[in-house]
Amino acid sequence: MNKKGLEILSEMDVQNLTALIEKLEASSFNFLKLENEDYKIVIGKNGVIESSETEKQTVQVAAETPVESKTQEIQYQEAAATEEQAVIEEAPSNTSKEIPAIQEGIEIIKAPMAGLFYAQSEPGAPPYVKVGDQVEEKTTVGLIEVMKVYSAIHAGVKGEIVDIHVEDAQLVEYDQPLFSVKVK
């Protein structure tokens, strides 16, 4: 592990970055971008996200649990301020999502933003909705978490939940289908 590349990252930062890498691997996303006033991190899979900057360093990050036959490589860049860019390369994975067929009388509730979808208010609690439940426009059907901020997802339509397209604690993309509702 190249110490110079990681000297500005604490052990907790490396653990959090490793957790993000693992969540990205399990998701249908191709990349994740995080940015604040101190740094910028872009994590991608199935190819390298190229940078326009000239100085690059390669840093190997070992996950706490071994990842079978996948190379995790982080390219990291020290720019004039404290801007960084990390890129992950791994073996190709199937990232295709099934898009529900459009049927007459069926409305699709889509993710209003990218983030982590939660089907219930807390672990062990019953889900907000399940197949067969009746919903109103203001019925909360789930939550999306983005950087520890939770946003309620409302049905936006009156009807019956006929299909659920995502699982609890799954990363979702903007405009990704979440539920199918038979409109009443």
Task: Look up tokens 């295709």; give the residue.
Answer: 96
Indicate the CATH number of 106-183 among 3.40.50.10800, 1.20.140.10, 2.40.50.100, 1.20.210.10: 2.40.50.100
Rounded Cα distance between 40 and 38, Å, is 7
**pLDDT exceeds 70 at position 89:** no
User: How confident is residue 78, by pLDDT bands cut at 50, 70 and 90?
Assistant: very low
The torsion defined by the Cα of 161, 130, 118 and 140, in degrees rounded to 10, comes to 60
**pLDDT exceeds 50 at position 53:** no
Which of 20-29, 56-65, 80-89 has the least mean pLDDT? 80-89
Residues 60-78 as b or e (16 or more Cβ within 10 Å = b): ebeeeeeeeeeebebbbbb
What pLDDT score was predicted for residue 35?
A: 75
Strand 177-183 relative to strand 159-164: parallel, antiparallel, unpaired? antiparallel
Mean pLDDT value of segment 22-40: 74
Rounded Cα distance between 13 and 155, Å, is 36
CB atoms under 10 Å from CB of 134, counted, come to 14
What pLDDT score was predicted for residue 116?
A: 96
Rounded Cα distance between 13 and 6, Å, is 10
- Return the structure tokens found at 6: 């990681």
What pLDDT score was predicted for residue 10?
A: 72
Query: Please, what is the average pLDDT of the chain?
Result: 72
User: How confident is residue 171, by pLDDT bands cut at 50, 70 and 90?
Assistant: very high
Domain coordinates of the chain in residue numbers?
Answer: 3-76, 106-183
Global pTM reads 0.48
pLDDT by residue (tens digit) across 107-120? 999 999 999 999 99
H or E element at residue 25: helix 11-26
Rounded Cα distance between 118 and 62, Å, is 29
